[in-house]
Structure 1
């Protein structure tokens, strides 16, 4: 068969003719090979899912960890130092809310999460804490865990009566609660006491009572063996008189020696102390508010040592440790009298003649000062006291000098 023009030789299978447009389009990709039975296995699918979830959790956890640490250590919102009181019995959530409400931390949730993370839920302490400016949540948590609450102080001067001490405690607006009853006179130890907000007034009274008992026991054990005092209570009674008779610490043993000498004479002398007159009239209120008069000296009360022998039935105030030490170990001398000397102290004398000269000198000083004339200092013998009584002033409680 002869070749004809326009006919191509046919060496292979017959192919369909393509249009010019179709010839320009890309050929379709061959179909994928059929999936293997292994790739279609459900455990492989589950495994891939678990790995994916684990990766998501890991990445999310790392992000959350970084955010938590940043929130925990970042400076807080406080613009200045602030004291915040956490009430007794507060749990972690209550503490967190209290701190957030007072602007100490940004988030109560972060604080609670930190408590949970470190396992310190049972270690949080109540009290009033000072949080510094910009304190972080972590630092705030450390402050509450450490428990170093703000401390307050109350100072009780020596010589105050129990009623006066209770009045001071009631006036303190940091202390709480009421005092059940006025403590027995002489049963409280004057001192400076530390406490935190939330402490009750009765707790301070109990603390002062324990300290007095402890100190008195120690002092009584070290007392001079020849004292004319039978019990620790008698020592406190005499110490309360010594406390109110002088404001000079160095005079206490000497004043105590005068009273001890009077009690140990073959014929004991009355103590004749002005503060006992005052206590017999006003009791626990402490101050008379005017000079002692002749009628006051002659007035018979259980406490007026111008009219009774020996010690009064109870202390006339609460003496400090120094006054009790002075009575337990008084100065050894033969002096029986003392009177104010114009310098805040006293002039001492062994005889009535010497004492009367000291009294005259004190009267002169008082006249020169233009103040009310004064004599005796509360320790003159009956004759001298009666002679000078109209001009005798009250010896005020030491706390009011």
Structure 2
């Protein structure tokens, strides 16, 4: 009798174990299976939240099939206590395991609100935008010009959100002084500028920052990136260029940057200056004269006067031979590349053509015709 009872109990125990194992395997398969989300969503995890609140939120939004399995899986992976505040892009069909990994590994938010400070050549803009999870495109919420416009109410609202991201977008052709002035005036950052990096030594690009980042650290990141670009581009230079060093390449690239905003023209503009240097001709480029007047600390905002073209400064390339002593702005990667790989042309002249581009010429006679056309366009524009 006892032997029969023991046998029955063992059978029940084994069945129970098999059932438990089955439930565990089923739970694991649910945890790792493709999720029910049919379109991407932005999951916001508030500071001080917990895994129960997050799992219920996910279940309500149709991102997980079972909030309990989500929590058990997070516990089993020993990640329940690693929940991070922020906004996280949850992709279509994301598994519970993938979502747990996203919200516990830390790092920057991957969706939600972003405030971008755009540093431009003639004006700066603050843009408040939000990532649309479906299109993965940013939707602009508001923009304003710091120092000129009153900040919209939404700016203060988004500044108060802990998961708002911040970015600095530096345009090609801005000066180092312009960048430093923006950074030291933005209350998201802290600290002093310190020693100003040399002109041309900041890489135009987009930089994500977190509140409280030191201004000097941002400038150093920009400088480090530009050094890497300069070294890489210099190593790829063509043979026979009239450039003796990476420093001269940087100067030429900055002039190219200021002379044209059209990507397809950079190689041609570079060829003009390289041809002039090879022939011992003066560069005769207005942006260098302007830099001699402003030192990059303001926008001239008008045409050059004859007296300014005749005034001797180290940057007046109508009067000095060769390259000026320093860059005149921070060139982007494309202008650096154009400086060491110019188009093969016979051009030694160019002038605006009225379309936003330039007319290039090999001879003075041809150039004079192009200048006459431009004067006619100028006169027509002024008349209109």
TM over 0.5: yes
- Secondary structure of 1:284 counterpart: coil
The counterpart of 1:277, out of the listed 289, 293, 310, is: 289
Note if 1:147 corresponds to 2:106.
Answer: yes
Note if 1:353 corresponds to 2:372.
Answer: no
Other-structure match for 2:331: 319
- C-alpha distance in 1 between matches for 2:356 and 2:375: 15
Other-structure match for 1:130: 87
Structure 1 residue 369: Cα displacement: 1.3
- Trace 1:171-320 onto structure 2 (pairs within 5 A): 171-265=185-279, 268-320=280-332
Q: Go from structure 1 to structure 2 and tell me whether the alpha carbon gap of 1:155 and 1:118 turns closer, same or farther (over 3 Å shift).
A: same
- C-alpha distance in 2 between matches for 1:279 and 1:186: 13
Structure 1 residue 148: Cα displacement: 3.2
Q: Go from structure 1 to structure 2 and tell me whether the alpha carbon gap of 1:243 and 1:371 turns closer, same or farther (over 3 Å shift).
A: farther
Aligned residues: 263
- C-alpha distance in 2 between matches for 1:204 and 1:166: 10
Task: Specify every segment of 5 or more residues in structure 1 that has no aligned partner in the other structure, as ranges.
Answer: 1-79, 87-95, 106-114, 133-139, 373-401
Q: Which has the higher strand share?
A: 2
Other-structure match for 1:169: 183
Q: Go from structure 1 to structure 2 and tell me whether the alpha carbon gap of 1:307 and 1:288 turns closer, same or farther (over 3 Å shift).
A: same
- C-alpha distance in 2 between matches for 1:365 and 1:166: 38
Structure 1 residue 130: Cα displacement: 3.3
Structure 1 residue 144: Cα displacement: 6.4
Other-structure match for 2:356: 344
TM-score normalised according to structure 1 size: 0.58
Structure 1 residue 307: Cα displacement: 1.2
Structure 1 residue 203: Cα displacement: 2.2
Q: Is the 8 A contact 2:351 2:358 kept in 1?
A: yes
- Secondary structure of 1:193 counterpart: strand
- Trace 1:95-134 onto structure 2 (pairs within 5 A): 129-130=86-87
Other-structure match for 2:122: none
Q: Is the 8 A contact 2:88 2:103 kept in 1?
A: no
- C-alpha distance in 2 between matches for 1:198 and 1:144: 23
Structure 1 residue 178: Cα displacement: 2.7
Q: Is the 8 A contact 1:160 1:286 kept in 2?
A: no
- C-alpha distance in 2 between matches for 1:371 and 1:240: 34
Deviations 1:228-270 (CA, angstroms, capped at 9, x unpaired) = 10100100001000100011111001000000000001xx111
Other-structure match for 1:396: none
Structure 1 residue 287: Cα displacement: 1.4
- Report the structure number with the largest CA radius of gyration: 1
Structure 1 residue 291: Cα displacement: 1.3
Note if 1:157 corresponds to 2:171.
Answer: yes
Structure 1 residue 224: Cα displacement: 0.6
Deviations 1:15-45 (CA, angstroms, capped at 9, x unpaired) = xxxxxxxxxxxxxxxxxxxxxxxxxxxxxxx
Q: Is the 8 A contact 2:45 2:54 kept in 1?
A: no
Other-structure match for 2:131: none
Q: Go from structure 1 to structure 2 and tell me whether the alpha carbon gap of 1:364 and 1:189 turns closer, same or farther (over 3 Å shift).
A: same
- Secondary structure of 2:295 counterpart: helix
- C-alpha distance in 2 between matches for 1:192 and 1:209: 13
Q: Is the 8 A contact 1:180 1:202 kept in 2?
A: yes
Q: Is the 8 A contact 2:314 2:324 kept in 1?
A: yes
- C-alpha distance in 2 between matches for 1:202 and 1:104: 38
- C-alpha distance in 2 between matches for 1:156 and 1:121: 39
TM-score normalised according to structure 2 size: 0.61
Structure 1 residue 324: Cα displacement: 0.5
Other-structure match for 1:393: none
Note if 1:362 corresponds to 2:374.
Answer: yes
Deviations 1:58-108 (CA, angstroms, capped at 9, x unpaired) = xxxxxxxxxxxxxxxxxxxxxx98676x7xxxxxxxxx5xx69xx999xxx
Greater relative contact order, per chain length (Cα 8 Å cut-off, separation 6+): 1
